[in-house]
Chain A
Amino acid sequence: MADGEEEKGGTELNPMLLVEAALFSAARPVSEEELSGSTGIEKGLVKLYVKKLMNRYRRMDSSLEVIKAGRKYSLQLRREYVKGVSKLAAPEVPQKVLKTAALIAYHQPVKQSELVDMYGAKVYDHVKELHDLGLIRTRRDGSTKVITTTQRFAESFGIDGVTKKRIRQFIRKHALFGSKEGATLMDFETSDEEEPDPPEDGRDEEEGPEESPEGDPEGEDDPVSRDDT
């Protein structure tokens, strides 16, 4: 269905709202390719409509937002409203591992022994749990492990970008300036193009669960930057 697609009855559907409908219907972050495939709208136009939706949700008084999560997009609840509905929406990631996850995200690539030093022996269990959830990957380095986040990590926590720099920036802002101020600061800085992470030496010994096939390999430059203008 191209721009200006007509319904059977002859009513013309708004392509931007069609993209919104696709984002709403998908129970996960979706890539431009998936949006294009499901709506029939050309990929370039999908990108344009997503940006329009982002701005629209930002302007309107809503508990929802359209964000770039990793290399995908999602229509999700604003983080300040998440706590208020936590009893209705059971989290996939247990609350107890979130601090360990944040430490990994900020310090990555980080040795497991350093994490234990920061946060205690419970890190061992948390690392295993995060690995099982596909949020981190580990690589053996001597007697310890070096831990980094996966693309799914950014998607699960609604982080705009998959590079270590971008994720670190996200954690830093929210840790230093709180959720609201941090989010605002992130919004102002999102016009920066993501720089790819330099390739790491060695291969992951323990890979996390398979990432979505449509995702680009982690570390590559993301051609789409978030345009918040």
Chain B
Amino acid sequence: MSSETGTGHRQLPLDIEEEVFRHLLFHKSIIEDEGDSYSRMDRYISVLGELKEGVHVTIRDSYSRSIAMVLELAVEEYLDPWDVDIIRFCRMFMKKINGSEDVNLMVVGKLIRMAYTVHLLKSNTTLLKAEMGEEEAEDIGDDHFHHWMEDDETFRVTRSIIREKDPILVESILHKGDRPVTLVDLLEALKDVSLEIDTFQEARKKRQDASRKIDDLNRSLINRKVYKENPEEEIRLTWQRINRFNGHPIPFQDISSGFELDETTTFVSLLFLAKQSKIRIWQRRFPYGEIFIRNLDPGGELRPGELEENERRVREGTGRIAAPGEIVVEKRPIPRNLNT
């Protein structure tokens, strides 16, 4: 195996193609196993002579073509990349370029690309050996007999597998199971789709029914929860509550249940009762003081139509609520800071 750094520089001969062959000869000569090197060299030279296609064919300059041929041999795996001294070739080519006025950059580019590929092949080999590990690397390249060489038949089979032009293994070729769609397939598909549509529509109808039922249920729940205005009934209930107490003033909180809605309806009912002169309402301290109610007609009954009469009188402005049903509010002066 050659070394790029170990090759000395020599004078450039006139016959470059010969120099290329001599280059090969030189590198073969430094391989330890002479018999192997000579046979390999012969093979390289014969392949070099027979190379009829490739990049080198398009290169007219004999010098560049020769270099391209060698690089091509390495790229095409006819030649061990490590047998190509790229540095030496580069020096030779640089000298040629320096002495020439007409440089074909296309050719130079191709040669650089091939030199790069050869260099890459060299790196790959190095990388592989590094990855293989010491034990494996030692195995490869050893010239001793391996177990597959010991048995004559195994050796013959192995050699046959490697050397036979046609591979031993032939991949099976089976009929591909595709076929065009037939009318029967289409009809079957239509039948399937029809069934799917029925199922879908049935499911949609069920969903709509269920949705309608839920809506009805929700509506009925809302109706039950929503407050329905019935002032007469509320006044009657409030009057009943008031009558449970004796004649002492009753705090408003004792009449209402404490819920916001009930407080409102109770207060409105109290106002009506006050209009009917059934009760008297007052507040101890304005505006947040406790509201008190006094029953002016304990055990009395609500007269039908009285409420409407009071409302009519207030609406017409013909009178005001007579005492003792008059609402009395204990007024307190509003703090100045609130006025501003």
Binding site for B on A (CB under 8 A): 24-29, 69, 74-77, 79, 82-83, 85, 89, 91-93, 95, 98-99, 101-103, 105-107, 112-114, 116-119, 121, 124, 142-144, 155-158, 171-172, 174-176, 179
Lowest 8 CB-CB distances: which A-B pairs, in order? Answer: A143-B133, A98-B167, A27-B177, A175-B160, A77-B173, A113-B136, A158-B172, A102-B168
Q: A114-B146, A156-B171 are in contact. Are A175 and B136 (CB under 8 A)?
A: no
- Interface residue tally of chain B, by bracket? 35 or more
Does A172 contact B157, Cβ atoms closer than 8 Å?
yes
Q: What number of A-B contacts does a CB cutoff of 8 Å give?
A: 125
Does B175 contact A24, Cβ atoms closer than 8 Å?
yes
Q: Choose among B125, B148, B178 the residue that contacts A114 (Cβ–Cβ < 8 A).
A: B148
Q: A114-B146, A117-B146, A144-B135 are in contact. Are A74 and B174 (CB under 8 A)?
A: yes
Binding site for A on B (CB under 8 A): 125, 128, 132-136, 139-140, 142, 146-148, 153-154, 156-158, 160-162, 164, 166-178
Does A171 contact B139, Cβ atoms closer than 8 Å?
no
Chain A positions within 8 Å of B176 at CB level: 27
| Closest A residue, CB atoms, query B160 | A175
Does A107 contact B172, Cβ atoms closer than 8 Å?
no
Chain A positions within 8 Å of B147 at CB level: 114
Does A176 contact B160, Cβ atoms closer than 8 Å?
yes
Does B173 contact A85, Cβ atoms closer than 8 Å?
yes
Q: A74-B174, A121-B128 are in contact. Are A116 and B140 (CB under 8 A)?
A: yes
20 examples of A-B residue contacts, CB within 8 angstroms: A25-B175, A29-B174, A79-B170, A82-B170, A98-B167, A98-B168, A98-B169, A98-B171, A102-B167, A102-B168, A105-B169, A113-B132, A113-B136, A143-B132, A144-B132, A144-B133, A144-B136, A175-B164, A176-B153, A179-B170
Q: A82-B171, A157-B171 are in contact. Are A103 and B139 (CB under 8 A)?
A: no
Does A103 contact B158, Cβ atoms closer than 8 Å?
yes
Chain B positions within 8 Å of A142 at CB level: 135
Does B136 contact A143, Cβ atoms closer than 8 Å?
yes
Chain A positions within 8 Å of B175 at CB level: 24-25, 27, 75
Does A171 contact B157, Cβ atoms closer than 8 Å?
yes
Does A26 contact B167, Cβ atoms closer than 8 Å?
no
Min CB distance, A95 to chain B, in Å? 7
